[in-house]
Chains A and B, each alone.
Chain A
Amino acid sequence: MDPLTAAMRIAGSGLDAQSNRLRVVSENIANAQSTSRVAGGDPYQRKTISFAAELDRAAGVNLIKANQVGLDYSAFPIEFDPGNSAANEAGYVKMPNVNVLVEMADMREANRSYEANLQVVKQVRDLVSMTIELMRPS
C-alpha cells in the first residue's frame, strides 16, 4: 500500500480512538452526580478506556484501537445527605468516584491528540495534491 494512503488510514484510526475516549469522558462528566436508584446502593462507577496497537495486515502498519471500556474500582466518596432517595438508614449517600478535574484533564488530552491526528491528515492531503499538481502544465 502507498505509504501516504497508509498514513492517512493510521491518522483516521487515531481520530476514531480519540473520539471514543471523548465519549467515555463525556459519560463520566455527565454522570458525576448520578447516585443509585435504590437506597444504600452503588452509584455510577467511573469508566476508563485504554488503547492498543493493532496490526493492519493488508497495509502492514500498526493502527490504534480502543480496548474494551473498563471500570474504575476505586472507593466511592460518602456524603451525609438524609434527604436523598439513595441514602442508607444512617443518612449517608455513596457518590460516584468521578473527579471532574481529572476528567477535564483527560478531555484536554483527547482534544490535543485529535488535533494532532487531524494535522497529519491535512499534511498528507496537501502532499498528495502537490504531487498530483506535478502532472499539471505549469
Chain B
Amino acid sequence: MIDPVTAAALGVPSLATDSAKVPAVNSSQAAAANGVGTFADVLANVGETTIDKLNTAESAAIGGIRGDTGPREVAEAVMSAEQSLQIAIAVRDKVVSAYLEISRMAI
C-alpha cells in the first residue's frame, strides 16, 4: 500500500482510496499550519537558497575580476555556493531514487 501523501504527490489517485486521500489533505494542512510547509515547499525553499547563493557567488566573482572584491571573499562565496549546490544535487538524487523505488513497487 502506497503512503497516501506520496500517492497524492505522484498524482495516482486510483491507487489511493477515498478514505486515504482525506488524511493526506489533512496532514499537509497540518504541516502548513505548523509553519513547516509541505515537502514540495521545503524543496522549493532549498532550490531558492541555492540559486541565491549561486547569484551571490557570481557577482563576487565578477567583482574579483574587476578588482573590487578580494580573493578571500570570492573564494568564500564560491565555496558556499558550491556546498549549497552539492546539497541540492544530493537531495534531488535522493528524491528521484525514492520516486523510482515507489514506481518499481509490485502492486
Interface residues of A (CB under 8 A from B): 8, 12, 15-16, 19, 125, 128-129, 132, 135-137
A132 B90 Cβ-Cβ under 8 A: yes
User: Which of B72, B76, B97 has the most C-beta atoms of chain A within 10 angstroms of its own C-beta?
Assistant: B72
Q: How many A-B residue pairs have CB under 8 A?
A: 26
Chain A residues within 8 Å of B12, by CB: none
In angstroms, Cα B88 to Cα A135, docked, is 11
B72 A129 Cβ-Cβ under 8 A: no
Chain B window 62-105, contacts with chain A (Cβ cutoff 8 Å), 1 for yes, 0 for no: 00000000101000100100010011001101100100000000
Identify whether the interface residues of B are mostly helix, strand, loop, or mixed. Answer: helix
Chain B residues within 8 Å of A128, by CB: 83
In angstroms, Cα B72 to Cα A45, docked, is 30
User: Interface size bucket, B side?
Assistant: 10 to 19
Given contacts A12-B72, A16-B72, A19-B70, 17 further A-B contacts (CB under 8 A): A8-B76, A8-B79, A12-B76, A15-B72, A19-B72, A125-B83, A128-B83, A129-B86, A132-B83, A132-B86, A132-B90, A135-B87, A135-B90, A135-B93, A135-B94, A136-B93, A137-B93
Q: What residue of chain B has the Cβ atom nearest to residue A5's Cβ?
A: B80
A137 B97 Cβ-Cβ under 8 A: yes
When A128-B83, A129-B83, A129-B86 are in contact, do A135 and B91 touch as well, CB less than 8 Å? yes
Q: List 17 A-B contacts (CB under 8 A).
A: A8-B76, A12-B72, A12-B76, A15-B72, A16-B72, A125-B79, A125-B83, A128-B83, A129-B83, A132-B86, A132-B87, A132-B90, A135-B87, A135-B90, A135-B93, A136-B93, A137-B93
In angstroms, Cα B70 to Cα A101, docked, is 29
Chain B residues within 8 Å of A16, by CB: 72
Chain B residues within 8 Å of A132, by CB: 83, 86-87, 90
Chain A residues within 8 Å of B94, by CB: 135
Q: Which one of B72, B76, B90 contacts A136 once the chains associate, using CB atoms below 8 Å?
A: B90
Chain A residues within 8 Å of B91, by CB: 135
User: Which of B83, B91, B93 has the most C-beta atoms of chain A within 10 angstroms of its own C-beta?
Assistant: B83
